Amino acid sequence: MAVPFLDLKRQYQTISSEIEPKLVQVAQSQRYVLGPEVDAFEKEIAAYLGVKHAVGVASGTDALILSLKALGVGHNDEVITCDYSFFSSAGVIRWVGARPVFVDVAKHSFNIDPAAIAKKITKKTKAILVVHLFGEPAEMDPVKKLAAKHGLPIIEDACQAIGAEYQGVKIGGLTESACYSFYPTKVLGCFGDGGLLATNSDQVYHAVQDLRVHGAKGSDDRATIGTNSRLDELQAAVLRIKLRKLEAWIAARRHCAAKYRELLAGLPVQTPQDKPHLGHTYNSFVITSEKRDALMAQLRSKEIGCAIYYSRPFHLMTAFKKFVKPQEKFPRSLIASKSALALPIFPELHDHEIETVAEAIKQFYG
């Protein structure tokens, strides 16, 4: 039996009766950009995340870029980030003209190794960009301690980790800026592109509010260059409805993860473990296997959806190679890129489908 990697239609069926009248209402209002839906959504999600401010922007990538800009990061600055993530996490650093400096992942994790950051700090370091990959928060305490010691701001790429918790508290307000994506495949997805930046800093908040509308709202003279990066009313209307379901959807993802762990126990694959202080939301359920490519081929031959996140660490990408010194080594991210395999996970995935996936993996190992 085929198992889809992701089936967004199942979720839509559960909310269409709430969403469709709302879309018509926005259309009839003819308010499309920065109106009452965006205002209300920003307040509601700030309350959900437990932060002072939330600013809707056009994508997760833009949230990261505008955060870097708001913190004054630019040419000749260095920004430290993890060697293993979606392209955007490092691409945004180059996009603002800064140099990415890569750090290997931690043991038993796909997130940055806090112990390896200190060696990479130089006079040019301007910020640390931490990614919470696959929905699991990175170890923030040691990173925060180090950042405070060096007076460095931290930006969180929380694009895959909305609702995740660190030591029992939702991430979002831990640092200068946490960035979220509402791309349709994320845990909280809209009907296109959308993003958000959460912050407790009044300075970052005001700066990003201006940056998303060309520098400043409603003035003829401009001191800074901004861009056009806004969340629109239709997306905000969809997100307001979906936000109310988010906790239930995260709980369903955790159920799927627990089921996978139970069924895959004893096989020669590593499953993501539940760590009590890290409230993983399972944006992705990524196992590792030494026979990853053969396993993937077999699952796909049985029409079981799976994907590689990510096959190439940043230090090996053409765009970034020139920023890596020959003596820099990243053994753990290299192993991750060769062994990681994402299995189907979404709130509407059925137990019997998880059993099908687990059975196919068992068969593979004979």
Ligand X SMILES: *Cc1c(COP(=O)(O)O)cnc(C)c1O
Footprint of ligand X on this chain (CB under 6 A)?
A: 59-61, 85-86, 88-89, 131, 157, 159-160, 181, 183, 193, 195
Question: Burial level of 288, CB count in 10 A (0-12/13-18/19+)?
Answer: middle
Give 89 or 201: the residue with its C-beta nearer to ligand X.
89
Task: State the nearest-atom distance from the C-beta of 121 to ligand X, in Å.
Answer: 23
Task: State the nearest-atom distance from the C-beta of 57 to ligand X, in Å.
Answer: 9
Give 159 or 361: the residue with its C-beta nearer to ligand X.
159
Give 85 or 177: the residue with its C-beta nearer to ligand X.
85
Location of structure tokens 């708001």: 70
Q: How big is the chain, counted in residues?
A: 366
* Bridge partners (DSSP) listed for residue 287: 341
Task: State the nearest-atom distance from the C-beta of 63 to ligand X, in Å.
Answer: 8
What's the rounded Cα separation, in Å, for the pair 339 and 240? 37
CB of 114 closer than 8 Å to CB of 142 = yes
Task: State the nearest-atom distance from the C-beta of 156 to ligand X, in Å.
Answer: 10
177-181 and 99-103 beta bridge pairing: unpaired
Task: State the nearest-atom distance from the C-beta of 120 to ligand X, in Å.
Answer: 20
Among candidate residues 365, 5, 2, the one with its CA nearest the CA of residue 185? 5
Give 85 or 337: the residue with its C-beta nearer to ligand X.
85
E strands in the chain: 53-57, 78-82, 99-103, 125-131, 154-157, 165-166, 169-170, 177-181, 195-199, 278-279, 285-288, 340-343
Per-residue HEC secondary structure of 70-87 comes to HCCCCCCCEEEEECCCCC
Give 259 or 332: the residue with its C-beta nearer to ligand X.
332
Give 71 or 159: the residue with its C-beta nearer to ligand X.
159
Q: Is 232 helix (H, G, I), strand (E, B) or coil?
A: strand
Task: State the nearest-atom distance from the C-beta of 114 to ligand X, in Å.
Answer: 18
The answer to whether the peptide bond before residue 183 is cis (omega within 30 degrees of 0) is no
Give 60 or 347: the residue with its C-beta nearer to ligand X.
60
Task: State the nearest-atom distance from the C-beta of 137 to ligand X, in Å.
Answer: 13
Question: Burial level of 213, CB count in 10 A (0-12/13-18/19+)?
Answer: middle
Task: State the nearest-atom distance from the C-beta of 283 to ligand X, in Å.
Answer: 7
Largest Cα separation within the chain, whole Å, is 70
Task: State the nearest-atom distance from the C-beta of 139 to ligand X, in Å.
Answer: 17
Give 160 or 360: the residue with its C-beta nearer to ligand X.
160
The residue number whose beta carbon is nearest to ligand X equals 60
What's the rounded Cα separation, in Å, for the pair 349 and 68? 37
Q: In this structure, which amino acid lies at residue 53?
A: H
CB of 137 closer than 8 Å to CB of 163 = no
Sorted by sequence, the CB contacts under 8 Å of residue 97 that are 6+ apart come out as 74, 75, 76, 77
Tell me the HSE value of 226 on the side-chain side, using a 13 A CA sphere: 24
Give 61 or 177: the residue with its C-beta nearer to ligand X.
61
Task: State the nearest-atom distance from the C-beta of 52 to ligand X, in Å.
Answer: 23
Give 110 or 205: the residue with its C-beta nearer to ligand X.
110
